[in-house]
Amino acid sequence: MSEPKLPLSQTTKELAEASPGVRRMFERGRELAARYGADAIADLSLGNPDLPVPGELTRALVEVAREARHGYLPNAGLPELRELLAARAVRESRRRVTAAGVVITVGAAGGLAVVLRALLDPGDEVILFSPYFSEYPIYVALAGGRTVVAEGDREHLPDPEALRAAITPRTRAVILDNPNNPSGSLADAGRLAELAAILDVAEQPIWLISDEPYADIVFDGLETPAVLDAFSNVIVVRSWSKTLSIPGERIGAVLVPSDTAAWSELMANIVFANRALGFVHAPAIWQRVLARVPDLAVDPAPYQRRRDRLLQLVRAAGLDVVTPRGAFYLFPAVPGDDQVFAERAAALRLLVVPGSSFGRPGHVRMAYCVADEVIERAGDSLARLMR
């Protein structure tokens, strides 16, 4: 006699089955490491920063832990931290940002989740520029929305004309990550102005959601342009995961300028979604820690050095790749099917992620936030694979 079939969410099942390959390749790397030893593989699959946590952050964490204050905080987050983040946004842009326009979230992913719940009704559309972070379509779908893809240009930058063509009467938001994951491309102020001009003349108001976990990790003397100054209806999502090498602590923030349309209603929606999704608020201990070191960041110079070395190895192997200007990923074009390429690389104990996971087949993502010896092993495996 067969067991009765228990009811499960078909939507969640389908999303899980179509889930991108980043985590799958990471788990594959763990399996290979267990089988052959960690020093026998080159795992470039996951953007898991390996730079040491700043000592000042560790000291602040110890101090806060000793205070043993673990009670609930306001749903929007610790008032002192929100004040500091608002003041920083005012220093870095010409917009008016107050503490009431800041919500502390469970990482940038949690921030995106609550923002999309605050904006979307079922069937509303969100435009993504490819290549895009692989989880974006899942976040949109779980908020009841529909993803529309605008193809990026040859430099993996957002294409203004592709954006114009993607807008429909159901468009509610555009997600922009700058610097980009997976390519490391960095849209300058001029490109942002082109995108803003298109949104400004759209028939309906469209939100620009700026996802900025890598905003402080840029190279070659460049700076990430202030998106707050470029767009009218803008929501900024930030994170300390990459900036402080603490991705496992899940701490981020959402900022909305107070001169943004429907500001009061939007903030009420975001704060409610933060609670109603079960987050309640971000971890209290980390909010108190960051209030003591709000402007602390790791030095991105080691990432730039690793970028340069991996660029040498990838190009020596015969692959074409755009030089990234930020984040910590290379996104080279590869011959043939990118998923087949990734499988053949894994057979040589080199873990990369197929570009189809990021909406741009024919490429693979390589994370260089790893030790120098891992990059050298990756170069050896890649050279053997291309031969």
Number of neighbouring beta carbons within 10 Å of residue 282: 27
User: What is the pLDDT confidence band of residue 13, given thresholds at 50, 70 and 90?
Assistant: confident
Taking residues 314-318, what's their average pLDDT? 97
Residue 1 pLDDT exceeds 60: no
Contact indicator for 224, 189 with CB cutoff of 8 Å:
no
Q: What is the pLDDT of residues 174-204, one digit of tens each?
A: 999 999 999 999 999 999 999 999 999 999 9
Residue 2 is predicted with a pLDDT of 64
User: What is the pLDDT confidence band of residue 14, given thresholds at 50, 70 and 90?
Assistant: confident
Taking residues 84-92, what's their average pLDDT? 95
Average pLDDT, the chain: 93
Residue 40 is predicted with a pLDDT of 78
Residue 38 is predicted with a pLDDT of 67
**Chain centroid to CA 121: how far?**
23
Residue 10 is predicted with a pLDDT of 83
- How far apart are the C-alpha atoms of 6 and 303, rounded to whole Å? 48
- How far apart are the C-alpha atoms of 117 and 197, rounded to whole Å? 26
Cross-strand partners of 211:
177, 237
What structural domains does the chain harbor? 10-53+299-386 (3.90.1150.10), 73-292 (3.40.640.10)
Residue 343 is predicted with a pLDDT of 94
User: What is the pLDDT confidence band of residue 11, given thresholds at 50, 70 and 90?
Assistant: confident
Q: Are strands 171-177 and 125-130 parallel, antiparallel or unpaired?
A: parallel
Q: What is the pLDDT of residues 96-114, one digit of tens each?
A: 999 999 999 999 999 999 9
